[in-house]
Amino acid sequence: MQAAVNTFGGIDALINNASAISMTGTLATPIKRFDLMNGVNARGTYLCSQLALPNLLKSDNPHILTLSPPLNMDPKWFAPHLGYTMAKYGMSMCTLGLAREFAQHGVGVNSLWPRTTIATAAVSVFFPDSVQASRKPEIMSDAAYAILVSDSRRTTGNFFVDEEVLRAAGVADFERYAVSPGAALHPDLFLD
């Protein structure tokens, strides 16, 4: 964080994007993999947020944006990959707690999650059949930008979905984000 401050003169936004994934059931998840997921996902989000906050508090429009899903307690999201769900929801719980804790300081703390699968390396490894039914990463960057330029004092504690953010910003054509325009899209995890 100090290197960022030294290079750029401060920190206005933190994006918690790093994530480890293992789409395995409890008996097939080695504890080292469980620890990695929770260390990178939940602990990483908490630690990076904690380290960025002293500088974010000096910003005129400070934001923390975490790429994590809305909290959905439907057991169907836990049973097939409990360790991964716990790790991702740990990130979302950071959003929930930090948004309330730092609201009076004007820090906007939000999460962003995709409506559909996104054509990333993780999707190609874990859901290879979904790549052609995915959207390009640009949809997430456009949605993130819309959130990060909003007023942090009025935009906090939200679990945003990329498509909803962009619709609210006036985007009507989502075909430009499709890997294969016209193809049926594969929904992402954790959204009903």
In sequence order, the 6+-apart residues with CB closer than 8 A to the CB of 55 are: 1, 4, 5, 10, 11
Count, residues in the chain: 192
Rounded Cα–Cα distance for residues 18 and 50 (Å): 15
| φ/ψ bin of 9: left (φ > 0), alpha (ψ from -120 to 50), beta (otherwise) | left
Distance of CA 74 to the CA centre of its chain: 19
Q: Which residues participate in catalysis according to the annotation?
A: 84
